[in-house]
Structure 1
């Protein structure tokens, strides 16, 4: 599924080769035609804005959006396990699952990093990809909701992922998590304190059949 691969690239730290060839991503979305006209239009606008921004500005926007805010963190298990010991075994399970598709995570990345997870799904058949994406839908909706609340243009990517999954979001749980989330840190000290807080969907541990992890990604 090329669309998932494109969304993975758009959610990754800006790369100069991607920046120079960004129109190819737009073309891939149009050719596969999996998204509604409204969602496609939003993504194409995001890509156009991406293309017209200064490259260093894009990198700084990515860092300020995803690296300085726990609410926007792209590591899926961060929103479930936080820093608990359950996270390690879940990471191992994910890495093994990726390896079966010959996808190997680099030393600088964690298996639960959303762009990596989306790249894995792009290697699966469509049915499996959509079902596995649905397993993460509440976390995706949570991150997307936080991004929209903070007026980040990246929220349109999460809206596209929700649409692709065909899964029903637990809107009450997501809205509650967004409402109870702490304010964004303004200093490095506040950021350190925020990362010590409890995970958004804490205290929920069960089996996830599709992702073969020690905790479900959504329920």
Structure 2
């Protein structure tokens, strides 16, 4: 798989690691690493690094409490901005359980294991996995859910969220949207994710569809608030040492 947008592998891995940390739940560890993250961001090509620098500038103007409150209001209470990639493709359907298992299988084959508190499709987790010496598989997972990422990016941008900059940086590391993906984005914005497992076409390529339909496994970690109404409109760590402390 070719490097996205001309990024060399080392720069892309560094970008994914910074993005992963900045998409985690804000806490004091973010304050301790801000200077290092800023240094890494400054070495990246402008389309990737400049949005990260802007976000870090925003972080410096907010307390940890304010950042945490904004994070919860953005990602936990608004399904439109769900950081769980399979939500956009499968909604709250049984097929989503199989999709989650496929993420876990990809991690297991790479010799990595998540804690029971982590859902494998959280964007921060996927980015860290990709940065940790698993670029090909990580990039494939991100591209499979390209439409959902684009819906999240546009929604965050339209709402004026500072986290839009992180999604701008993420999508700058990926290939440009293809025609079929543009159609999927438009459909997601107009209709939202599937609500039923039967009779709705998912938004990932057919070769990645789950075959059996099984009950969703226990997640361990709470997903986004399902009472909300969907509204459309820095070096990597060693493999096997995924750092999940930044995520709740």
CA contact (8 A) 2:47 2:169 kept: no
CA contact (8 A) 2:84 2:123 kept: yes
SS at match of 1:80: helix
CA contact (8 A) 1:8 1:115 kept: yes
Hey, what's the Cα distance between the residues in 2 that align with 1:15 and 1:103? 25
CA contact (8 A) 1:73 1:143 kept: yes
TM-score (norm 1): 0.77
Hey, what's the Cα distance between the residues in 2 that align with 1:174 and 1:145? 10
Q: State whether structure 2 residue 15 is matched by structure 1 residue 3.
A: yes
CA contact (8 A) 1:101 1:123 kept: no
Q: State whether structure 2 residue 210 is matched by structure 1 residue 214.
A: yes
CA contact (8 A) 2:41 2:50 kept: no
Change (3 A) 1:130 1:80: closer
Cα RMSD over matched residues?
2.5
> Aligned residue for 1:50?
59
Deviations 1:71-121 (A, max 9, x none): 001111111212211122221221121123333222222111111111111
Superposition deviation, residue 53 in structure 1? 0.9
CA contact (8 A) 1:121 1:133 kept: no
Superposition deviation, residue 70 in structure 1? 0.5
Superposition deviation, residue 145 in structure 1? 0.9
CA contact (8 A) 1:74 1:114 kept: yes
CA contact (8 A) 1:131 1:165 kept: no
> Aligned residue for 2:128?
119
Change (3 A) 1:130 1:93: closer
Change (3 A) 1:108 1:131: closer
Of structures 1 and 2, the one scoring higher in RCO (CA 8 A, sep 6+) is: 2
Deviates more, 1:22-31 or 1:136-145: 22-31
- What does residue range 159-198 of structure 1 map to in structure 2 within 5 Å? 159-169=168-178, 170-180=181-191
Hey, what's the Cα distance between the residues in 2 that align with 1:60 and 1:140? 23
CA contact (8 A) 1:26 1:47 kept: yes
Change (3 A) 1:39 1:122: closer
Hey, what's the Cα distance between the residues in 2 that align with 1:127 and 1:92? 19
TM-score (norm 2): 0.69
> Aligned residue for 1:17?
29
Change (3 A) 1:81 1:180: closer
SS at match of 1:5: helix
CA contact (8 A) 2:51 2:168 kept: no
